[in-house]
Copies of this chain bind each other. A is one copy, B any other.
Amino acid sequence: MSEQTDFEISHQVPYYECDASGHLTIGMLFRLLILVSEEHSTAQKVGPDRVKALGGGWVIIDYDGTINRLPKRGETAVFGTRVAAYNRFFVVRDFWVKDAAGTVQVKVKGLFAFMNLTSRKIATIPTALSEPFQLPESRRLPKVARPTAQAVDDQWQASDYRVRFFDIDLNNHVNNACYFDWLLDPLGSDFLLYHRLVGLKIKYDHEVRAGATVTSTFRREGAVTYHQVQSQDGVAAEAEFTWEEC
């Protein structure tokens, strides 16, 4: 059995992928991680078109990551991924971002499932998609830690966000990276400009539809913030972020 290969792309960060601090935004980080994973799959001839032809699509269950430093405007960084493990229903992907010196500055694990697009339910991963992984099926998948369960009460601060036309992607869904903008924006610029995200856990529960309005709530407990995004269909996402002052 040959080893699963790493797949990497080099990307120079333009000004419009950065926030007011001049660093890549968290939403853009995840857009790029999905891009690298799609390009990885395409290089293995199991890209989005092939997945669609098999009647399904990859859906993200949760991410768990740590950030040392995000690339800055104009910086060229390397975005990489590999399949860490999989079983009949789930795939765990490792993601990383390296700076120009080759030092890993961001590490993320993501748990994905294969969804049948007709039934909208999780389905067995077709062999045609798992063969290119060149890995044996795992008995136990590595853990992708989830946010600590929280009971939201009226002490949590709430902000409403209407889904906009440009949040909707080619599959007529809200892009998963948009959730980060909703999750983080309520913290406010005074907090966001003077704190650096160093750890994140995010779990996706329900899709948010075009035309919906979501409520993003959070509470802070020292260096940790807990978040929940709700739509009229229920909880759409939960997150736990760890911060350092900067």
Contact = CB atoms under 8 A, between A and B. Distances in A.
A75 interface: no
Given A165-B188, A184-B165, A15 B27 contact: no
Interface in A157-189: 164-166, 168-170, 172, 175, 177, 181, 184-185, 187-189
A69 B172 CA distance: 21
Interface in A1-27: 14-16, 18-22, 25, 27
Interface of A: 14-16, 18-22, 25, 27-28, 31, 34-35, 38, 73, 164-166, 168-170, 172, 175, 177, 181, 184-185, 187-189, 192, 210-211
Copy number of this protein in the oligomer? 2
B16 A31 contact: yes
A22 B73 CA distance: 26
Contacts of A189: 165, 168, 210-211
19 contacts: A14-B31, A15-B38, A15-B170, A16-B34, A16-B177, A18-B169, A20-B168, A21-B170, A25-B166, A27-B166, A73-B170, A164-B181, A164-B185, A165-B181, A165-B187, A166-B184, A166-B185, A168-B189, A189-B211
